[in-house]
Amino acid sequence: MTDLRRRLLAGLALGFVVLLVLIFVGDARQVTGRLARFTWALAPLALACTLFNYTLRFVKWHFYLHQIGAGGLPLRDSARLFVGGFPLAVTPGKVGEVLKAVWLRQKTGTTVPRGVTVVLAERISDGLAVLALSTLGVLAYPRYAPAFAAALAVLIGIVAVSQIRPLALRLLGWAEQIRGLRRLSGGLRELYEGSYALFRPRATLIAVGLGTLSWLGEGVGFYLILIGLGVPGGWDTAGKAVFILSFATVVGALSTLPGGLGAAEGTIAGMLAIVLGLPASTAAAATLLIRFATLWFGVALGLLVWARSPDLLGLAATPGTTEPM
C-alpha cells in the first residue's frame, strides 16, 4: 500500500503539472476568462454523460465477472470494486489497476491471474470501442490514420491470438522456457484461460457494444462543454467532439502515462486547434473542463469509495464477505 500511495501521489503530481502547463500555454489570463464565461449550467449535464459512461462500463465489468465465474458477487460490492478502481488509473502504466484483481480474490476467491484478465479485457474492449468511434474522423483526417491503424492492429492481434488456441498454447510453451518466467507458468496459464473466455466472439461483441455506447456518452459531454464555451453547435461539431475525445483516449492509453496525463491533454488541445480551428485559450479551457469532468471526477468518486471502504486499502476482508458501500 505504501508503494501504491507513492504511485498515486506521483500521478496526482503529474496531473497538477499538466494543468499548469495547459493554463500557461493557453495564456493564463485568457484561459481564466474563457472559464469565467463558461455556461456552468451545462456542467451537470456533462457530468451526467460521464455517469452514463461509468454505468455502462460497470455493466460490462459485471458481465465479465460472470464470464470468469465470479458473478456471485453482489451488485453493491461489484460496484464498489469497480468505482474503487478509478484512482488506480492515475498510477504509472495503470499498473495499480492490478489491485482490482486482488480485491476480487478477497471477495470471491477468484485467482489473481484470472482477475487480471478482467482488467485487461476492460482496457482492450474500451480501446476497440473508442477506435470504432474514431473511424469516421480518421477517414476525414488521414493524418491520424497511422496511429489509428497501429492501435487497431495491436488490439485485434491480442484478441485473435487468444482465440487461436494452438498458437496461444505454443507461445505459452515458449514463454515457460524463459528462465525468469518459469516460476510464473501456472499464473500465465490461468491468465490465458481467463483471456480465452473473455475474448470469445460473443463476449467481445457485447463488451465493445457497451463500450461504444458508454464512450459516446462522454463524447456528448465534451460537445456540451464546447457549446458552453461558445463554440457553434451542430452535428459537425458533435461528430468532431466525439472523434477528438475518442482518439485522445487511445493516445493517452498507448502512452502508458498515469491516466494518459499529458498525452491525452496535448492531443485534445492540439486536435481542437486543428480539427475545429479553436484558439489556444479556448482549446486549453475545453481540455481542462473535459478532463475534470471525466478523469478527475472518476478519481474523486473512487477516493470517496476508499474513504468509506477501509477493507479495500487494508485488504482485510475475507473471501465471500460484503462490506457496506
Say what percent of the chain tops pLDDT 70: 93
Band (pLDDT 50/70/90 cuts) for residue 198 is very high
Would residue 35 count as lying in a domain?
A: no
Highest mean pLDDT among 21-35, 41-55, 78-92, 253-267: 41-55
Would residue 20 count as lying in a domain?
A: no
Would residue 1 count as lying in a domain?
A: no
Would residue 319 count as lying in a domain?
A: no
From the list 126, 72, 127, the residue with the least C-alpha distance to 104 is 72
Q: From CA 149, how far away is CA 222, in angstroms rounded? A: 24
| pLDDT in the model for residue 94 | 63
| pLDDT in the model for residue 63 | 96
Q: From CA 185, how far away is CA 168, in angstroms rounded? A: 13
| pLDDT in the model for residue 15 | 84
Domain that holds residue 262: 45-314
| pLDDT in the model for residue 324 | 37
In the predicted model, is pLDDT for residue 319 greater than 70? no
pTM over 0.85: yes
Would residue 65 count as lying in a domain?
A: yes
| pLDDT in the model for residue 315 | 45
In the predicted model, is pLDDT for residue 87 greater than 70? yes
In the predicted model, is pLDDT for residue 8 greater than 90? no
What's the average model confidence in pLDDT over 75-81?
A: 93
What Rg, from alpha-carbon coordinates, does the chain have? 20
Better pLDDT: 200 or 312: 200
In 114-183, DSSP assigns E strands to none
Q: What does the block give as the cell for 99?
A: 489491485
Would residue 34 count as lying in a domain?
A: no
How many residues appear in the chain? 325
Are the CB atoms for 98 and 309 separated by under 8 Å? no
Domains in the chain: how many in total?
Answer: 1
Would residue 198 count as lying in a domain?
A: yes
Phi-psi region of 260 (alpha: psi -120 to 50; beta: other; left: phi over 0): left
φ, ψ of residue 17 to 5 degrees: the values are: -65, -45
Neighbours of 86 (CB within 10 A): 23
